[in-house]
Amino acid sequence: MVLIKGERYCLTYMEFGLNVAPSIMQRIVDTILTKYERIQQAASAYIDDVYVDKEIVPALRVKEHLHNFGLLSKKPERLWNGTRVLGLQVWEEDNVLCWKQGNEITGMLFVVTRQNIFSLCGKLVGHLPMGGWLRIAVAFIKRRVSDVTTGWDNKIYDASFNTMIREVLTRVHKEDPAWGRWCVDSQDRSVWLDISSLAIGMSLVHDGALVEDACWSHPQKGSQHINLAELNAVIKGINLAILWKTTTLRLFTDSACVHKWISDTLTGWARVQTKAMSEMLICRRPGTIMSLVNEYALSMEVPGQIQHKQGRLFNKVSSKIA
């Protein structure tokens, strides 16, 4: 959004140079780091942030190397002492690197508009892998704002929005859920899934620590069979794990039907059988799951105990494919 001679203009798409600038910068830094083999082994870059393993090459040597190619850099900072990386605050806790939000969210909005609220919500969780309850709260506020406004600059006179924003900010200052482990060195992960009539939720877990969470609302309430939504959530969970370069995956679901279907598909014991209204769509999902497992060489396991809604435990035979 720009203001020229008193007129407001909205950029509907990014120009070519702005659109590819981060990718170009990433490629330039990567290319420079490959000019020297030892530096290539020790350094890893993400756009304008460079991480250096000091046991291989001193950080000052990498700084000099970048300077020789015309790239200026600030004084090296040690992650274990606490620093800011990629807009996040990183520090050491119990010999493990952790991260939290790096930007301070303070004060209330003087002018409550759709644009200001969306901007505030983006600063809270827009770029973070972990959001917890905050992700749900932000999504609810954005949906409410979209329902009562038609443009980005429409002022909102409903006092309930100030109340919601105040409650969210107050709780964030007391118990911000947007934090997690910085280094995830293993490729062994677990995905936990939960489905309701309103939304899909999942969490990616590594060694007992949450790595990433996500939630999606259903396109239309009641438009999908619940088992079809469960299978869609499984596919989303596998995709999320693949993005983290997972090789060993444990998938947890509280749906007895989905548990049996995936188990039978992975082991080849039986075909998926259902007489639901979405029968053909349901039968296609296990095939897609199997294709993902084979394509990415996943070792996938569906644990043998699932929790029933009334508290009873159903013991199932664990299914495993390597």
The DSSP-derived string for 272-283 is: ----STTHHHHH
Name the most confidently modeled range: 2-11, 37-46, 76-85, 309-318: 37-46
CATH number attached to the domain at 185-321: 3.30.420.10
Q: What is the pLDDT of residues 83-123, one digit of tens each?
A: 777 778 888 888 888 888 877 776 566 678 888 888 888 88
Neighbours of 152 (CB within 10 A): 14
Query: First and final CA of the chain: distance in angstroms?
Result: 51
User: Number of C-alpha atoms within 13 angstroms, CB side, residue 74?
Assistant: 9
The span from the CA of 123 to the CA of 101, in Å, is 9
Nearest residue to 50 via CA among 24, 77, 69:
77
Q: Judging by beta carbons within 10 Å of its beta carbon (0-12, 13-18, 19+), is residue 204 exposed, middle or buried?
A: buried
Beta strand segments in 128-223, E: 179-181, 188-195, 199-206, 209-217
Beta bridge partners of 200: 195, 216
Locate 113 and state its tokens: 């508009």
| H or E element, residue 305 | strand 305-307
Beta bridge partners of 6: none
Q: What is the pLDDT of residues 176-190, one digit of tens each?
A: 888 888 877 777 889
Q: What is the pLDDT of residues 286-319, one digit of tens each?
A: 888 889 999 999 898 888 544 444 333 333 333 3
Main-chain dihedrals φ then ψ at residue 41, nearest 5 degrees:
-70, -30
Name the pTM for this structure: 0.70
The domain locations on the chain are: 1-76, 79-183, 185-321
